[in-house]
Each structure stands twice: as structure tokens, then as C-alpha cells.
Structure 1
Amino acid sequence: MAGVLRIHFTDRDFRYVQLAKSADPIWEAILGLHVLSTSTTRLPPELRPWRRGAAARAQNDELRAACRLLGDLAPADAAYFPDFLTPVESEEGMSVGLRTLRSTSRARLARELQEAARYRPMPGWTRRLASGDRQLLDQVADAVLRFHAELIAPDWSEVEATVAAHRDRRTDALEGGMTAVLEKLGCFTWRDPVLTAPYPVDSDLRLRGRGIRLIPSFFCHTMPIAIADPNLPPVVVYPVSSQPPASQAAAGSPDALGALLGTGRARVLDALTVAFTTGSVAARLGLSASTVSGHLKVLRDAGLVHSERAGAHVVHRLTGRGRHLLGTDGPGPASPVAGGPRSGGAGRRG
């Protein structure tokens, strides 16, 4: 039964709200696994190309074994999966996060795996993990690293571009104060002093003056996911969309833009409401990369698009002039596509 996540703020909590600037690599690995194990028809359109590509790449035995291992601990449809899989320290990067994961105490392993067993039958090997088997715990950390390196990292520039576009909108909203940011978080609803969102189960997260860390995620696609243990620092991962918000998409007139720019160029410009690589735009629009590249050059020369290198890829995004032409130059909320509360995929209430 569908529920609601209620995040209760006090005046003190506003002083300690942390808005993560980028996606978290370990969270993206776990949530990417959920995308990979979800039927394409149940995914938002922007995640379907990644899933198809990842499924094609996930054929070697080592990677398939890593997927099975992680899937046993954190299946997409779980009502809960252990918090030790997504340590808060991963905000400092993959290596720090994995070092923390590898050092998880035996008591915590036992406690969180016992909690997971309340929601679903656990594989027999997890009993050894719960007893503190360090070799097994290293295998779990290695599986996270392998999944990220082989399936997430090749598309990290697109993850960063999507999150960066969301960050720009969020920064604009900051002019209205923190409550304005909370009002613009897309899948959330702010009614002072409670932030709510759809959730698999009814759940109350009371911040108690500790603040909260809000982490945007590319692969979160159904609803937010909250750390389950109320004694851990409050963390909520929430979905950002590579689709323009409906209110913004309606602001421009496709027919008028087509008449002004040509249909192909107008479609490319509209696709860049969130930043993308040339190949991603081509895949989304069903055009050849060379055609998209030609349209981008014209749009760039006209001052409507800015292109910059991000690792091995070149990422394109709208300039202020391009956003104005599309009618998207005001701050806008992220589209309500989310990834599952932290009880796994159902709720990790994740």
C-alpha cells in the first residue's frame, strides 16, 4: 500500500541542511542496479537507453556475479536494504565510501541483516556476513566497485550533466531562501514544517536539530529513498529528471520554434533543457550523431548552446539566451520521477 514519507523540520534543522552538489557514486551504483533489474517499460524514458546499454555490457561472469551478490542484499523491490551498503562517507568519493563499507562492524552487520530478514527471506550466505566474515564483506565492496566501474562510470558525464542542470535550478531557487528550495524539489511537497513525498510505507523522519543531507540522483526513478536507521545522520536521496518539468515544457511553442529554427534544430534545443552529450541527444531524438552535431554547431554559433568537455565526452547545455528562447529561464522543479524509499525498492523504506 502506498504511503507517505514525512520529514519533520525544527528551526534548528534549517541551519544544517546540506544540498549535495553532485551525485553520490555508491548510491548511484545501488540505484543503477535497481534500474538494471527493472523492466524497461516501468522506467522513465530517459533511463531506458542506459538500461539497454548496461544490460548488453553486463554479460561477463564477474560482473553478473557482482550483480547477483548486490541483488541479494538490495533488490529493487525490497521494503528495506541495509544502510551499511551506502555509507555517508561516500560523499567524499568512492574510495572513502568503500573503505568505510569494508570496516563495517560485526554488530552493525548483524543488526541490519537481521532487519532485512524481517521483510524477506535472506540467502544463506548472509548468515556468514552477519557473523562478521571480512572476506565476504570485501566481496560486497568489490561488487559495488565493479558495478560502478563497468556500468556507471562510462556514463558518468551524463549523470553529472543532469545533476548539474538540477543544481542550477536549485541555486536559482535559493534566492527565495531554504524553504523556496524545498518547495522546488519536484517529488516533494513542503508544508511548513514538514517535507513530504510518496513512499512505499508511511514513515516519519524526525530531524531533531541534526539537519539533513539531500542528495540528487540520476538513477533514482520512483520516489525518494531515506536512510532507515533513525540514529544515523539523516540522508535522503531524491530523483532528478533529464526531462523538462511540464510547466516549463509548455512555456515554449514547438511550432513557433520550428518555424524559427527548423524542426530538427528546435528539437535539439528542446532536448537540452537538461545538459546532454551529443550521443545522448541523438539517442533520445532518434537522429544520427552527425546530424545532431551539425545542429549543435549552428545553435552554439547563435549563442543558444554552450559546449564543454567533461572527461571523455563533450557536454552541451543551454545558455541563458537559449533558456529564454525556450521559456525555461526561471527556476523550475525537477520532474517527479523517483527511486524507491529506503526500504529497498519499495521503500528502504528504497
Structure 2
Amino acid sequence: MVGWIEYELAGADLGEVRFALSPMNELALSLRTWREPGRYPLQLPWLQLTQDARASLDGEMLLALTNDNLWTPDFLTPRPWSPLTRFDDELAALAATPLDVVRDDIAEVHPDPALRPAALQGRRDRVLRRITSALSAYWTACFEPWWPRMRAVLEADIVFRGRTIARDGLAAMFADLSPRIRLVDGVVRCEMTSKIGFRRSTAGEGLTLAPTLFTRNATAPISAEEAPLILYGARGAGTLWESDRSPAPHALAGLIGEPRARLLAVLDSPASSTELAIRLGVTTSAVNQHLRAMRDAGLLSAARHGRSVLYLRSGLGDELVRVGA
């Protein structure tokens, strides 16, 4: 590790920490997979699925928004304020980015003007309009069809982190985010691969934690002027593009039926009905019927998170799967 960022929590409790999602962050960070797909093997199925769509986009501009270190300009990874953040709102905020911020953040990523990609040169207002247009088209072609599935994984991660805090405390939650993150004496330290080092307080702003599908460890804004934010790899990213068509345990299927046994078997981590339908290759309405029946029987717990209801095996469900395996 060659760099670090430290955030001093103004109050070492949950009140200083919030979780949020950012579609724009996911969009910007995903550009790393264009430059070095081999470093993101979990996303190769998505890259293959979107290959034809990406060929019609403004690839010159989109590739210019990263560098060889896989940095992206900070204004493309805004601090989200809610798990319900909408892409359209973030796109409008991007279009209104002050031009001096655009200039400075691009210079952080491409410091040598002579080597700066041609797409990022010229009048800053025109550059910003082209960036906004390129990202809007990228979202429509490559993200919008898949976003419900992506969002379900991200929301499930947040629910899991909340349960970790309730069970084991804030320090344990931070320790589980990434080997690069730890909380010691009220200071959250995030180790970075970039040559930076600063400490700043979260007083008046708090610290936002945002799960992402497009980082292998953890990352944060490279400028001390940016609001406190840590992006960390979401749980379940490895199963995002997989379909789970394996048969349910035979004994369990004989007891509660094949469809419900398959659902119960995969619900060892929180998931929404939309995500489960995709994974199991069935309709969402069919999944919902089975989920409600198993929840009413005490085999599942359910918690609303944003616009989704996330389901998880209860203690009774865990025991049933164990005995029926």
C-alpha cells in the first residue's frame, strides 16, 4: 500500500455513519472494466452481454474518464445521500458541476496536459456536456436493463451490514468491509493504492459508506476537499450474473415442495423477489407467492429496504435446511 485516508468520526457511533447507493458511482467505476477487464473477472459476463451495445457508444470519451491507475475524476463519484438515489437526479447534478471542479478533477486523473486524452481537451463546458451525454447513453444501453438486479445485490449488502452492527458493533462492521479498512479509536483508516495521505474530520457531514459492484477492495475520493465517502465491494457480486438452477435437497423438497426448497436453500443471505426470480429462472409473481407462504410459516424474515423487500432465512429455516440436506 502506498497511500491512506483517515476519517475521524466526530462521534464514534452509528449516528456518524450512513449507508447509501449511487447509480452514478456504479456507472463511473464500471469504466475500469473497459480498460482492464482481466482485473474484474466477476464482471466478464456483463461485459460480454453488453459488448454490442458498448460498440455504439462514445468510447473515446468513456475511456478517457479513467487512467492507467484506474482512477476516475471525483465529480463522477458523488457522495450519495440515500439508498434511494435516482440516476436521473445524479445526471442532472453532474450536468451542473462547476467548471473549475471539472478542470481540477480531470487534472488529478490526467496531470500532464500534453498527455491528456483529446476528448478532455477544449472548452470545459463542451467537455462537460460531452461527458454527460456519453454517460447518459451508457446508462441507457448497458445499465438500465440490469439495474434492478444490481440494486437488489447492493441493497442486500446494506441490510447485512446493518445486522452486523446490531449484532457485533461498529468496529466489526468496518473490519468486514475490506482488509484495507479498519476502525481504531474513532478513526476509520482506508488504505489506498494511490500516493495520497490525509486525515479529516466527519464533523457536520458524517461518513457515507456505499457498496459497489466495481471495486475489488475499497476506494475513496482522492481529494481531502470531498465529503467523507468510502466505496467498498458488495457481498454477493460473485453471484450477480449466475443462474441457480441446481435441484433442491431431496428431503427438503419432499417436505415443502421443490420451488420452496430451492428458494429456502439460496436465502442464506438477503435477497429480493426480483433477484431470486432471475437467479432461479422463474417469474417474480411465483416467487412472491412462495416467499409469503414461507414467511407466514416462520421460515423467513422480511425487511423493507428502499423500494424492495429483502428476505432471509430465519433460525427455523436454517435448521430445516440443515436437517433436510
TM-score by length of 1: 0.67
CA distance 1:56–1:105, shift in 2 (3 Å)? same
* SS in structure 2 of the partner of residue 78 of structure 1: coil
CA separation in 2, counterparts of 1:15 and 1:290?
39
Output aligned runs, 1:285-324, within 5 Å. 289=281, 301-303=293-295, 304=299, 317-320=311-314, 321-323=316-318
CA separation in 2, counterparts of 1:7 and 1:68?
35
CA contact (8 A) 1:296 1:305 kept: no
Identity of aligned residues (%): 18
Alignment match, 1:185: 177
* SS in structure 2 of the partner of residue 215 of structure 1: strand
The more displaced of 28-37 and 222-231 is 28-37
CA distance 1:4–1:33, shift in 2 (3 Å)? same
Report the CA distance between 1:37 and its aligned residue. Answer: 4.5
Q: Which amino acid aligns with 2:48?
A: R
CA separation in 1, counterparts of 2:18 and 2:294?
34
* SS in structure 2 of the partner of residue 84 of structure 1: helix
Alignment match, 1:250: none
CA separation in 2, counterparts of 1:70 and 1:181?
34
CA separation in 2, counterparts of 1:324 and 1:4?
45
Q: Which amino acid aligns with 1:150?
A: A
Alignment match, 1:20: 19
CA distance 1:221–1:307, shift in 2 (3 Å)? same
**Correspondent of 2:218 among 216, 224, 229:** 224
CA distance 1:201–1:108, shift in 2 (3 Å)? closer
CA distance 1:156–1:52, shift in 2 (3 Å)? same
CA contact (8 A) 1:19 1:213 kept: yes
Highest RCO, 1 vs 2 (Cα 8 Å, sep ≥ 6)? 1
CA separation in 2, counterparts of 1:89 and 1:316?
21
- Is residue 33 of structure 2 the alignment partner of residue 35 of structure 1? yes
CA distance 1:37–1:80, shift in 2 (3 Å)? closer
- Runs of at least 5 residues in structure 2 that lack an aligned partner in the other structure: 240-245
- Runs of at least 5 residues in structure 1 that lack an aligned partner in the other structure: 246-253, 283-288, 328-350
Alignment match, 2:48: 52
CA distance 1:3–1:280, shift in 2 (3 Å)? farther
The CA deviation string for residues 100-150 of structure 1, in whole angstroms up to 9 with x for no partner, is 32222232222222222237932123221xx42x23311211222221222
Report the CA distance between 1:226 and its aligned residue. Answer: 0.6
CA separation in 2, counterparts of 1:117 and 1:41?
21
- Is residue 87 of structure 2 the alignment partner of residue 94 of structure 1? yes
User: What's the Cα RMSD here?
Assistant: 4.2
The CA deviation string for residues 139-164 of structure 1, in whole angstroms up to 9 with x for no partner, is 21122222122211212221222122
CA contact (8 A) 1:163 1:240 kept: yes
Alignment match, 1:84: 75
